[in-house]
Copies of this chain bind each other. A is one copy, B any other.
Amino acid sequence: MERLLVEPFYVMKVLERAKEIERSGEKVIHFEIGEPDLPVPRKVKEEAKKAIETCELRYTESVGILPLREAIAEYYEREYRVKAKPEQVIVTPGSSPGLLALLKVIGETLGEISYTDPGYPCYKNMIKFLSLKGRAVNVYPENEFKVKPQKVETPVLIVNSPSNPTGTVYTKEELRALSEKAFLVSDEIYHGLTYSGKAPSVLEVTGNAAVVNGFSKFFLMTGWRLGWLVVPEELVSDLTAILQNIVISPPTVSQIAAIRCFDQEVLEELRSNVEIFRKRRDVLLKGLKEIGFKIPAEPQGAFYIYADASRFTDDSYSFAFEVLEKAKVAITPGKDFGYNGTEKFVRFSFCTELSNIEEGLERLRRFLG
């Protein structure tokens, strides 16, 4: 594979090959994609259509329109019982550019940034993109892939709870202990999607931390490209200047439509989706274990199962392609999440309906059984 400035997502190669197979007329079961498959609430869509009809969708403030910032701030009060001022809420074109701007400010002002291995690959890639100092902290199955406070040796730590790829959820006490060791950049993008009690926000334990969140997971609005940050007030002016320069402003129609996400009836519809994901998780978990995958940390949130495939392979990258070719099942190789034991692991997402999950399990059973 050619050398690139930042690492690509290896799963894209799986996805590309899966699409080729589909074009040849065969059905592929998709466990590789981390994108919710449920429909965007009608009220959100109607609001978007109305906005397109009635206004010209000009640039907005770089940090987002005030009514949306207010709605998000109120949501923190209702959902987590924490006070956030609308001024601390910064709306971004997806959570990724928000995280990028935030890492720049935090890295330049506080110093080296730790992130977990395995973990979401963009953390290390963004740190590299920004020429900041970063450090991988290995996390292990025996601790549910959680960072232990005594392992934190840098002034900044990225925590992702619920986590991609493991579904790990940190308790409030664990977040507090970590927040005493480092400034936490808390990626809470999978909040709302939890299977045994709500995931606490870092803001419940400290005001001196930054939250990254967005509308692409619980709120289902992936291609609408809208995220947000909640940050200490002293970071706002730096983040504003950076976002002016690198993105100008978030998509206007998405901002107007997203306000509707916080209407009671829309929130209830979204919350009812969690039961759909829970059912899928339970079926997939049981099936994978029966087939012979080990699941050292059962996911408490998000929509992924990080499965130890060492009974079948010690090269999970090749294994992913073999499973795709032979069983027509697409999975994500552990390699996408770092270097720490990842050659033994693959990630299954449950963003596909139950009948597909059952068919996928049957295909794996036949191929691996």
List residues of A whose CB falls within 8 A of some B CB: 2, 4-9, 12, 35, 39-40, 45, 48-49, 52-53, 56-60, 93-94, 96-97, 100, 104-105, 108-109, 121-122, 125-126, 129-131, 220-225, 237-238, 240-242, 244-254
Is the Cβ of B5 less than 8 Å from the Cβ of A223? no
Is the Cβ of A58 less than 8 Å from the Cβ of B100? no
Tell me how many chains of this kind the complex includes: 2
Which residues of the other chain, B, contact A93 by a CB distance below 8 angstroms? 93-94, 97, 225, 247, 251
Is the Cβ of B59 less than 8 Å from the Cβ of A246? no
Which residues of the other chain, B, contact A104 by a CB distance below 8 angstroms? 5, 129
With A57-B222, A129-B104, A254-B251 in contact, is A9–B244 under 8 Å at CB? yes
Is the Cβ of A223 less than 8 Å from the Cβ of B246? no
User: Who on chain B is nearest to A46 by CB?
Assistant: B52
Complex Cα gap A100–B39 (Å): 33
- Residue of A2, A7, A105, A244 with most partner-chain B CB within 10 A: A244
Min CB distance A37 to B, Å, is 8
Find A245's partner among B126, B222, B254 (CB 8 Å cutoff).
B126
Complex Cα gap A238–B6 (Å): 7
Which residues of the other chain, B, contact A224 by a CB distance below 8 angstroms? 57, 251-253
Is the Cβ of A245 less than 8 Å from the Cβ of B60? no
Which residues of the other chain, B, contact A131 by a CB distance below 8 angstroms? 130-131
A sample of 15 inter-chain contacts (CB < 8 A) reads A5-B108, A7-B241, A40-B56, A49-B49, A49-B53, A58-B222, A59-B223, A93-B247, A94-B248, A96-B245, A129-B245, A130-B131, A131-B131, A225-B225, A225-B248
Which residues of the other chain, B, contact A240 by a CB distance below 8 angstroms? 8
Is the Cβ of A238 less than 8 Å from the Cβ of B97? no
Is the Cβ of B4 less than 8 Å from the Cβ of A237? yes
Complex Cα gap A108–B56 (Å): 38
User: Who on chain B is nearest to A38 by CB?
Assistant: B56
Which residues of the other chain, B, contact A250 by a CB distance below 8 angstroms? 225
Complex Cα gap A100–B240 (Å): 16
Min CB distance A220 to B, Å, is 8
Is the Cβ of A39 less than 8 Å from the Cβ of B52? no
Which residues of the other chain, B, contact A40 by a CB distance below 8 angstroms? 56-57
Known: A6-B242, A9-B245, A224-B253. 12 other contacts (CB 8 A): A5-B105, A5-B108, A6-B238, A8-B237, A8-B244, A35-B58, A48-B253, A57-B221, A57-B224, A97-B247, A131-B131, A251-B254
Min CB distance A112 to B, Å, is 15
User: Who on chain B is nearest to A55 by CB?
Assistant: B223
Find A223's partner among B2, B57, B223, B245 (CB 8 Å cutoff).
B57
Complex Cα gap A249–B94 (Å): 9
Find A53's partner among B45, B94, B221 (CB 8 Å cutoff).
B45
Is the Cβ of B57 less than 8 Å from the Cβ of A247? no
